Amino acid sequence: MASTRIRVCAVGRQQDMLRLCRYLLRNDEEPLSPEATLEQLIARILHLAHEEGLEGSQFLYEMVADRLYGDAREETCRMNIREESCGLYTALFAYESESLFQPSDWLAVHQACGMPLFVLRASEEFYQEKGMLILSGGRAHDNWERMAEAWLYLNLRYGADFEGRDPRKVRKALVHQAEDEDFEMTVGEMLDACVENLTELQEFYQAAEENRQEIETCRQEKDFQGLFYFFGKAAETRLWDIDHAEEHIAQVESLKEMWGE
């Protein structure tokens, strides 16, 4: 089976991240101090990943749930927890799997920690699963938007091995694969939508102070629908790697130029 590239983002407050880390360390034989800081808990997770996994791993997939249905290549497991400029905290998990994404594994995290999880995944093959999932309310919910864009993004940024190969040919092969499938978007529309999505997320990310104020207003007014909107947007900026959006936009623009040749 072709590999699946998966990115999972949890969104909440600092205390939610403390709960998340303690959950991931629930089977650790070394006792955890009740006063352990977020930084100390993250360091312990990294230590165990290096000790029991491969050198490059930053978390162990076995930490996700006690009964697993999915898998991960340990050397691809990456974890990053940080405070966003809007005041929310995000925890991003990225890995590659030999199987399709298994929501039940991550529902265990969602239910134990009380945070919504936002998932972006894509198989190497266009016809297989791709797009976004939201884990909330104890269930997995499909998001049918940005399916083609998610497939192109994850494979273009994290899937194609350009070493020793002509990047133009690799990128064009990705687009040709999408063109060969019976999908409601044309290749041109897919490329335009990729740029549009990244540009919109950049605009959200750059409005940090305004977002911070609106999030606080939502909390004070108990506007949970509004708060969930901001949680989702914050997650998307991580899932789509907004820190490197310009690089990805340049890649897509290059594809658009090649497609017009």
Instruction: Decide which of 261 and 106 is more confident.
Output: 106
- Rounded to two decimals, what is the model's pTM? 0.91
Span 23-35, average pLDDT: 92
At 107 the pLDDT is 97
At 144 the pLDDT is 80
* Residue 234 pLDDT > 50: yes
At 129 the pLDDT is 86
Span 10-27, average pLDDT: 97
Query: Are the CB atoms for 175 and 225 separated by under 8 Å?
Result: no
pLDDT digits (tens, 9 = 90+) for 178-198: 666 666 777 788 889 999 999
Residue 184 is given by DSSP the state: S
- For the ranges 52-56, 171-175, 216-220, which has the lowest average pLDDT? 171-175
* Residue 218 pLDDT > 60: yes
At 13 the pLDDT is 96
At 145 the pLDDT is 81
Domain-by-domain residue ranges, the chain?
4-259
* Residue 62 pLDDT > 50: yes
- For the ranges 4-8, 157-161, 191-195, which has the lowest average pLDDT? 157-161
At 95 the pLDDT is 95
At 239 the pLDDT is 96
Q: What percent of the chain has pLDDT over 70?
A: 89
Among left, alpha and beta (phi > 0; psi -120 to 50; other), residue 99 is: beta
Q: What is the DSSP string of 106-164?
A: HHHHHHHHT--EEEEEEESSTTS-EEEEEEETTEEEEE-TTHHHHHHHHHHHHT---TT
pLDDT digits (tens, 9 = 90+) for 101-123: 999 999 999 999 999 999 999 98
What stretch of H or E contains 12? strand 4-12
At 64 the pLDDT is 98
* Residue 161 pLDDT > 80: no
At 108 the pLDDT is 96
Instruction: Decide which of 256 and 169 is more confident.
Output: 256
Distance between CA atoms of 152 and 146, rounded to whole angstroms?
10
3-state secondary structure of 224: helix
- Rounded to a whole number, what is the distance in angstroms from the first to the last CA of the chain? 33
Q: Name residue, tokens 């497609």.
A: 259
Distance between CA atoms of 74 and 182, rounded to whole angstroms?
34
At 163 the pLDDT is 45
